[in-house]
Amino acid sequence: MERLYECIQPFGIDQWGACRFSELPPLLDVRSKAWIPPNAKSVLLFLFGYYTEAFPNRNISRYAVPDDYHSILRPLLAEIAASCARRFPEEGFLPFIDSSPIDEVAAAAHAGLGEVGMNGLLLNPVYGSYCFIGEIVTTLPLEIPPPEPLYLCTRCGACRAACPTGALAQDRFVRERCRSEITQKKGGLTLWEQEQIRKGGFVWGCDRCTEACPVNRNAAKSRVAGFYRNPIPVVDAQNVASLCKTKAYGWRGKNILLRNLHILSGETEDVV
């Protein structure tokens, strides 16, 4: 681990850890498992705090205010993987950011980077849940000591109480009731779903459970310089097309956001 630390330390990442690939939960079916090498031995997990300034008039989730985190973090993880590969030329190092079939929250918790909160998000002692998780899957076997348990979630229920739709129910995430999921949903929306967008006031996402979490009150500011460039907290009909080229919500396409803008304006017909 010491030689690995020497590869990673120059990049200024303060929150990272490792776990054995064999000890992770089953891979997710929603993403291709072919990308994972059959001889994977370890996973390196990295946390990147994101831009958390609370613009009073924003109509999108905090994480989506800066430019697309994929475009910011993917090159950084690729550099880290290349640094590790130079030190361990016989081994493979594959970087991922929101694209691998690994359950990233479970893996990060297993690597000692935090605890899974009642809302299903990773709680980290430095960034709370205001962080992105990246990983590097490697064929390098590592001697990894068991992580120290982190007791960050007090089970206070603030996140559950703050959820306006009951999506956080009995420690189970009901995806179809989540306002964030509804803003991203393709196709026509039910009248109830349209009403949730209107009540939420967001064209993309929902931050109710994260803002209610007491662990997030003292979350540290991001150390990623790219997250401080070009923050745009408000999406409207005039800027949505250009923003979709550089922001995290662009993958869904501008028509979904235009539909949500129409709903927020009091219209009910779908624009898809």
Q: Who's near 152: CB < 8 A, 6+ residues apart?
A: 114, 115, 117, 123, 124, 125, 215
Overall average pLDDT of the 130-156 stretch: 94
Same domain, 65 and 93: yes
Write down the H helix ranges in 88-226: 104-110, 158-162, 179-184, 191-200, 208-212
Same domain, 114 and 7: yes
24 falls within a domain: yes
56 falls within a domain: yes
Same domain, 108 and 193: no
Confidence at residue 10, expressed as pLDDT on a 0 to 100 scale: 92
> What b/e readout covers 10-29, taking b as 16+ CB neighbours within 10 angstroms?
eeebebbbbbbbeebeeeee
Same domain, 35 and 119: yes
Same domain, 162 and 133: no
Same domain, 75 and 127: yes
Q: What is the pLDDT of residues 20-56, one digit of tens each?
A: 999 999 998 877 677 888 899 999 999 999 987 888 8
148 falls within a domain: no
Confidence at residue 120, expressed as pLDDT on a 0 to 100 scale: 93
Which residues form the domain of 36?
Answer: 2-138
233 falls within a domain: yes
Mean pLDDT of the chain: 93
* φ and ψ of 181, to 5 deg: -65, -40
Domains of the chain: total:
2
Give the integer Cα–Cα distance in Å for 110 and 242.
Answer: 39
Given 68, 98, 103, 270, the catalytic residue = 98
147 falls within a domain: no
Q: What is the pLDDT of residues 77-105, one digit of tens each?
A: 999 999 999 999 999 999 999 989 999 99
Residue with tokens 């993987």: 81
67 catalytic residue (yes or no)? no
Confidence at residue 52, expressed as pLDDT on a 0 to 100 scale: 78
* φ and ψ of 186, to 5 deg: -80, 160
Same domain, 54 and 162: no
49 falls within a domain: yes
- Give the CA-trace dihedral at 121, 115, 108, 67, to 10 degrees: 40
Same domain, 17 and 107: yes
Confidence at residue 85, expressed as pLDDT on a 0 to 100 scale: 96
Same domain, 172 and 255: yes
Give the integer Cα–Cα distance in Å for 194 and 260.
Answer: 8
226 falls within a domain: yes
144 falls within a domain: no
Same domain, 133 and 257: no
Read off the pTM.
Answer: 0.93
pLDDT of 272 > 90? The answer is: no
Same domain, 120 and 199: no
pLDDT of 271 > 70? The answer is: no
Q: What is the pLDDT of residues 197-239, one digit of tens each?
A: 999 999 999 999 999 999 999 999 999 999 999 999 999 999 9
Same domain, 194 and 255: yes
